[in-house]
Structure 1
């Protein structure tokens, strides 16, 4: 065992609990920063289950930023989406990417696992975390694995272990919110030939959804209005699902072959803090909600990308520890809006006929481009804006979209972020600007190239320079930021070398 930061017997600079999309994405981000990371996963292998399907436009950009998109192969894209079952046109949004449809979560996990293994992450399956304790200077994790029970030490720990997070409970994170008021079923089956049915088409007794997935799989969601929530330790029997289907539709689907099934509810909870001491929560460990609009996995991946580069910078002593506080400051408001919009969607597609007038009003409003753009931005994650300082530039605090660059390599703005470092885009070939950034070239890359076109209605031809954080968000722009470049560089990347 090595010695790091004056603490003896540190087994990994960061330990991640959970090898779902959030945990794997965080592991990859940390390895890009050169951090020794161990991922502990209770299950001996991936389940093959795919609760999440596809990516939002923002997650498409995130994967492009790390050069991961080609690994998914051909992806079906669509501008069609919904809010509570009401159609939303994502084509109204600015950006090169549409939403990706029908990419099973298991495929996402397979791609991310291959990536983090290539980067050298220590992924340990069949390792169940029993307890976590923060000792101020380090965190201890008791783990039961193939070789018995052992205690590991780490500088920081990230709980990416889902809605029933042991890390959250062990460390004492407050998790306020509302409990489930109903139970719903989700099942992937073979041997059914049903017409697709969108969420939002309600029945007298509840709601069903039918979707077609690759490989002859049909996805079913069944919500029987008034079905009380149950405390389950095992997945529901397929008979429960077929009985509920028959009560709602009158049809018998018991001849189908279940691939897997699960039950879920409409609980909505959000931790009060995303960080306590040396322990962080990421993804569903920090927020649980109705799976409306496919936002859960996407938000979790984006949580991981926000935390990863910051934790890497602090561990490499390139930034002060106060940078880690911005993880909570930036991502908890995102989680709060996530709960707000998923609860609103639940009211729209799970309520009875009494809510129909509200559906009609919202449908009419979404027909206006500005309103449709607002709903699309909310569900896609493209509306997110962080507090990076004051200024008039339209991109400040927003993500840097995929933009073509003229004059060589990299060809696109997202390509410049493949290494997980910050990027200063010098659009005006300004030697003085590059001189002022010279003290940070061990942490950022400088790209001198002219952009093509405009984004967010802002003509980039009038923009001299943009500083982009490793997570793809704009931290400074000229003209338009009320503060000079070195000030912003020091805020996000620490003092100059």
Structure 2
């Protein structure tokens, strides 16, 4: 074997997965078709949940000063994210190029082998591993598992025969990052505007412009559009001429929505845009991709290391496929609101009225923030079961720590909230995979999510797998389910 795992694609999903695998001590080889990063940035921010994920791994300081906001939107209709009561806001101005720079540096520091200029051309799986052929290489590379993180036009997805059904594109949207223009931030998607216009300031004096004329069918392209096309559409929609601006990057995308039917086929798995493509409403695609990798990384590492059975990998599909399906439903609904004409005006009016109700606003805010995800970890009435553990302040001996800090090792976490030696003794046989921490929540007891909770088992991805009281399974059963048999 050349590596235990080969990851194809060095975008956010692939680099995050490489870091997660190395954090668990698994050797990983990343193959990237491009010889160097393009510097292009489709995504320009993080959802609240992705902020938590990066906090869990101690990565947030690496991004420098992050401008956060508590303002969101669903299909252009404003949302107030403060209804979520989350510790983090959403990050608005982090270009994807910066995200890739940070994640690549982190993965390399942990020992990931990242090889650029390596285009995968063939893939063959057998009972013991997967052989990957790289263009120009004399011999194939071998690994126990291969993960395709190679984007919407995924080569791995095609070579491995994954089905990729969905709805075809109906509209083309233009994107341009430009210098030399002074445009105020803006988002217009009402019927009278004739289409969609978005203007967002980015670091370095760059302004992002997105424009789409309603009813414009997609063009079959072999490369990016000319900036003149973008400027013409922008002028027709706004009356403003930006043709004299300096284009830094120009691209086009569509509202096509597709998702693979399975996230795993034997020893080949799919993550990120390779698994799901859609209208990039609210930047949810890159964020979902990063979270795919955080869900998969610790599971794949446990199987490779032999501490958990191969069946643990099946929970990657059972947990993340529904998330991807919900993502497509959400972005298709937003596509109707953003790109629809007068015929969807009544829908906008009704939805605007509904957003005046706190529960509706909270539901959609959680949806676009990634905080509504709850996995099936077993029955029980505890409100945190399957959900992510929020960022909480804890007294740990004489130290004050946060729940996200305790997850930075990438291991499981058993929170003993009542200094219970019996609990710790029952979990002792898993201490090679799970950290046991005795701590006390600092929040006001009646307001803490851990109010009246005596213990909680948290997976490496931050989701609660067991809690007491409130789980119908006992602790050893939960530990074995998620971390494999006792030592």
What SS does the aligned partner of 1:419 have? Answer: coil
Tell me what 1:186 maps to: 175
CA distance in 1, matches of 2:378, 2:158: 35
Q: How far apart in 1 are the matches of 2:83 and 2:287?
A: 20
Question: Would you say 1:492 and 2:482 are equivalent positions?
Answer: yes
Residue 135 (1) aligns with residue 132 (2): no
After TM superposition, give the deviation of residue 229 of structure 1 in Å: 1.1
Q: 1:102-142: CA deviations, max 9, x gaps? A: 10000000000000000000000111111112123210110
Match among 438, 443, 457 for residue 428 of structure 2: 438
1:291 paired with 2:280, answer yes
How do 1:73-472 and structure 2 match up within 5 A? 73-144=64-135, 148-406=137-395, 407-409=397-399, 411-453=401-443, 459-472=449-462
Quote how far apart the aligned CAs of 1:454 are. 6.2
Paired with 2:339 and 2:231, the residues of 1 have a C-alpha distance of 19
Secondary structure of the residue aligned to 2:111 is coil
For the structure 1 residues 76 and 455, does the alpha-carbon distance in structure 2 shift closer, same or farther, using more than 3 Å as the test?
Answer: farther
Distance 1:453 1:292, change over 3 A: same
Residue-by-residue CA offset, 1:27-79 (whole Å, 9 max, x unaligned): 00000111110000011111111100110110011001111111111111111
Question: C-alpha displacement at 1:456, in angstroms?
Answer: 11
Structure 2 length normalisation: TM-score?
A: 0.98
CA distance in 1, matches of 2:147, 2:188: 34
| Equivalent residue in structure 2 for 1:478, among 462, 468, 480 | 468
**TM-score with structure 1 length normalisation?**
0.96
Alignment length, in residue pairs? Answer: 486
- Structure 2 CA distance for aligned equivalents of residues 170 and 382 of structure 1: 34
Q: What is the distance in 2 between the residues matched to 1:103 and 1:222?
A: 21
Instruction: Tell me the secondary structure at the aligned position of residue 428 of structure 1.
Output: coil
Is the CA contact 1:33–1:309 (under 8 Å) kept in the aligned structure 2? yes
How far, CA to CA, are the matches of 2:184 and 2:117 in structure 1?
A: 40
Q: CA deviation at 1:226?
A: 2.1
Structure 1, unaligned runs of 5 or more: 1-9
Q: Which of 10, 15, 19 is equivalent to 1:19?
A: 10
Q: In the alignment, what sits opposite 2:27?
A: 36
Residue in 2 that maps onto 1:7: none
Q: Note the C-alpha offset of 1:461.
A: 3.8
Alpha-carbon distance in 2 for matches of 1:305, 1:410: 26
**Which residue in the other structure is 1:55 paired with?**
46
**Displacement after TM superposition at 1:252 (Å):** 2.0
Q: Which residue of 2 aligns with 1:69?
A: 60
Deviation at 1:357, TM superposition (A): 1.6
Q: Distance in 2 between matches of 1:149 and 1:167?
A: 20
Structure 2 regions of 5+ residues with no counterpart?
Answer: none
- Which range is displaced more, 134-143 or 259-268? 134-143
Cα distance between partner residues in 1 of 2:49 and 2:444: 18
Going from structure 1 to structure 2, the CA distance change for 1:410 and 1:312 (only over 3 Å counts) comes to farther
**Aligned partners of 1:408, 1:142: CA distance in 2, in Å?**
54
Q: Is the Cα contact below 8 Å between 2:445 and 2:451 reproduced in 1? A: no
> Using the alignment, how far apart are the partners of 2:444 and 2:466 within structure 1?
17
In 1, Cα distance between equivalents of 2:467 and 2:86: 19
- Render the CA deviation track for 1:305-325: whole Å, top value 9, x for unaligned: 000000000111100100000
CA distance in 2 between counterparts of 1:475 and 1:409 reads 25
Residue equivalent to 1:6: none
CA contact (8 A) 1:385 1:397 kept: yes
Please state how far the C-alpha of 1:231 moved relative to its aligned partner.
1.9
- Structure 1 residue 409, shift from structure 2 partner: 4.3
Superposition RMSD in Å: 1.4
CA distance in 1, matches of 2:138, 2:214: 45
Residues 442-479 of structure 1: per-residue CA shift (max 9 Å, x gap): 00000101012269966524110000000000000001
Tell me if structure 2 keeps the 8 A contact 1:236–1:262.
yes
Shift, 1:195, TM fit = 2.0
Contact 2:384 2:449 in 1 (8 A): no
Q: How many angstroms apart in 2 are the aligned matches of 1:250 and 1:443?
A: 60
Which stretches of structure 1, 4 residues or more, deviate above 3 A after TM superposition? 201-204, 407-410, 454-459
Moved more, 298-307 or 353-362: 353-362
Report SS of the residue matched to 2:345: helix
Deviates more, 1:230-239 or 1:407-416: 407-416
Cα distance between partner residues in 2 of 1:22 and 1:122:
16
User: Are the aligned partners of 1:94 and 1:455 in contact in 2 as well (CA < 8 Å)?
Assistant: no
Q: 1:247 to 1:455 in 2, by over 3 A?
A: farther
